[in-house]
Chain A
């Protein structure tokens, strides 16, 4: 097992575990409300704030995503919203898509695909944030009218695309699956997020197992963030009913925009490293650093 300086910041292990646990709660609430894995919050939190090595943080965030999904599945009101049949179809397509995406990422320069993907996320964010003319938000998954055959036929492709984006960009499938279920299959937004919660548990399982097998998972941060995510997802599932779909859609739009900007930031950073772009002026670099780098704890913490 890799060594992690548990007392590197002068904090006892228990205190550090409690702070990571609190961070896990925040990530778990967002995971349950928006139908995502929460890795976008957990990985930067663990790496930049607590100094956990990146592979260990990625593995820990996958374990946390599994537990957050479990919590959502255990919460009765959330569970009743899940479209189980659709979830299993998407799970199969997503798994194959992830393999395709990883192969593309290994054998080509995926910058153009990444840029197109970022634009697609922005477009989706705008679609989600727009007020709806007719509402399809009421009821559970079973009470909704059946979508057309064309839309149903599109879903395996969406699953492949979600998996491919996961393999290509290293992001979870939730940011694709939730908007796709809502905008293509016209599922109510809460049904889409609940179904995505179910999918994420299964799709994170194999990745988490690979990390476990490699011995890169550090017990303290992994268990602390996973337990926090579990509690957070229970809280998120409980408050899900009280929030309007409009609020959740806007939350998802903000998350998608953030992911799109992060992808753009990654592309620009890579091009600067290659010397294809001039070095940016210091004020811009500082603003970018503030936007994408959590403020680290001072050494005396």
Chain B
């Protein structure tokens, strides 16, 4: 993988850090934690489908 492609991948993955931060901050609120985990799982499922369809 070339450096520019690696940088672009890091940029694309950056919202996951925000999602993880929000999930951590909302650990005392089960509903919000579940929602954040649901979004994370949906993203991972989409990524898995994209890779498998390649």
Tell me, rounded to whole Å, the shortest Cβ–Cβ distance linking B23 to chain A: 9
- Dominant secondary structure of chain A at its interface with chain B: helix
Hey, which chain B residues are within 8 Å of A6, CB to CB?
none
B18 touches A212 (CB 8 A): no
Complex Cα gap A214–B51 (Å): 10
Q: What string of 1s and 0s marks CB contacts (under 8 Å) between A78-92 and chain B?
A: 000000110011011
Hey, which chain A residues are within 8 Å of B2, CB to CB?
219
How many of chain B's residues touch chain A, expressed as a range?
Answer: 20 to 34
- Dominant secondary structure of chain B at its interface with chain A: helix
Within 8 A of A (CB), among B18-40: 18-19, 22, 26, 29, 31-32, 35-36, 38-39
Q: Give 10 CB contacts A-B under 8 Å.
A: A85-B29, A89-B35, A198-B18, A201-B14, A206-B46, A209-B46, A212-B9, A217-B5, A219-B4, A223-B8
If A209-B46, A209-B47 are given as contacts, then 12 extra A-B residue pairs at C-beta distance below 8 Å, sorted by A number, are A66-B12, A66-B14, A84-B26, A84-B32, A88-B38, A88-B39, A92-B42, A198-B18, A212-B5, A212-B9, A213-B50, A226-B8
Hey, which chain A residues are within 8 Å of B22, CB to CB?
84, 88
A261 interface contact, C-beta 8 A: no
Q: Contacts A84-B22, A206-B46, A213-B54 known; A63 to B35 CB distance under 8 Å?
A: no
Most buried by B among A201, A205, A214: A205
Q: What string of 1s and 0s marks CB contacts (under 8 Å) between A183-227 and chain B?
A: 000000000000000100110111011101110010110110010
B43 touches A205 (CB 8 A): yes
Tell me, rounded to whole Å, the shortest Cβ–Cβ distance linking A253 to chain B: 28
A73 interface contact, C-beta 8 A: yes
Tell me, rounded to whole Å, the shortest Cβ–Cβ distance linking B22 to chain A: 5
B39 touches A63 (CB 8 A): no
Partner of B11, one of A63, A198, A202: A63
Tally inter-chain residue pairs, CB-CB below 8 A: 82
Hey, which chain B residues are within 8 Å of A209, CB to CB?
12, 46-47, 50
Q: Contacts A88-B39, A92-B38, A205-B13 known; A217 to B8 CB distance under 8 Å?
A: yes
Complex Cα gap A91–B18 (Å): 14
How many of chain A's residues touch chain B, expressed as a range?
Answer: 20 to 34
Hey, which chain B residues are within 8 Å of A88, CB to CB?
22, 32, 35-36, 38-39
A95 interface contact, C-beta 8 A: yes
Hey, which chain A residues are within 8 Å of B42, CB to CB?
91-92, 95
Hey, which chain B residues are within 8 Å of A201, CB to CB?
14-15, 18
Closest-by-CB residue of A relative to B32 is A85
Q: Contacts A70-B14, A70-B18 known; A206 to B43 CB distance under 8 Å?
A: yes
Closest-by-CB residue of A relative to B31 is A85
Complex Cα gap A209–B4 (Å): 14
B31 touches A222 (CB 8 A): no
A210 touches B50 (CB 8 A): yes
Partner of A205, one of B5, B15, B26, B54: B15
Q: Contacts A70-B15, A73-B18, A222-B8 known; A91 to B39 CB distance under 8 Å?
A: yes
B36 touches A226 (CB 8 A): no
